[in-house]
Amino acid sequence: MGEDRTNDELMPSDVASKHDEKELLRALFSELLEIDDVGMNDDFFDLGGESLMAMRLVARIEERTGTRLSLRDVFDWPSPAELASRLPANVERPA
């Protein structure tokens, strides 16, 4: 099981949505990769994802959240926890 590390920079009000986003991403990884127990810090590509599957991932993230990520985001931020940080609620939070 992957450990769900807490992010020190989180604002308290973000915690709930942040958690949901990570869980959503974990579920999407799991669905696409057909792996039951994806860890929050597991790398999409180490789990057997490749670029065409990463495209499906980005498309599904847009479907579910309305946020259009770049494919590069998946390459640069390949775990559910990291990728969640690219979703706007987190990106736009005050510094």
Partner 1 sequence: MTNADRTRSDALTELIRASTDRRWSHRTSGAGVVPFAAGIEAWSHELRDGGVHEGDVVRANVSRGTDWAELVLAALRLGAIVWLQAPIDGPAWELVAPQGGPPLGTDTALVLPTSGSTGSRKHVELTRRELVDFGSVISDRYGLTDSDVVMLFTEPPFDVVVEEVFGALAVGATIAAPEQRVMMPIEFAECCGQLDVTVANLPTSYALQLARLAPGPLETPLKTLVIGGERLSWDGAEAVLATFPGVKIFNAYGLTECCVTSTVHEVGDPAIARADGTRPLGVPIGRPLDGVRLRVVAEREGAATVSDMVTDTDPDPDPDPDLVTDTDPDTDPDPDTDTDTDLVTDPDPDTDLVIGELVVGGRRVADGYLGAPRSRPGSPFAPEVGGTWFSTGDRVAWQPSTDLYWFLGRYDNQVKIQGQRVELEYLEQQCAIVDPGWRWAAIPVRSSFEEVTQIRLVSDNPALGDSKERARVERAIRARLPSPRLPVKVTYVHDMPQLQGDKINRRLLETRMNEDGGR
Q: Site residues for partner 1, window 22-81 (CB under 8 A)?
A: 34-37, 45-48, 50-56, 58-59, 68, 70-72
**CB of residue 17 vs partner 1: minimum separation in angstroms?**
24
The Cα 71–Cα 52 span in angstroms is 10
**CB of residue 61 vs partner 1: minimum separation in angstroms?**
11
Query: Helices 15-33 and 51-65, interaxial angle, to 10°?
Result: 140
- Contact, 28 vs 61, CB < 8 A? yes
The answer to whether 3 contacts partner 1 (rule: CB under 8 A) is: no
Tokens at 50, concatenated: 């490749």
The answer to whether 92 contacts partner 1 (rule: CB under 8 A) is: no
Q: Which residues bind partner 1 (CB under 8 A)?
A: 34-37, 45-48, 50-56, 58-59, 68, 70-72
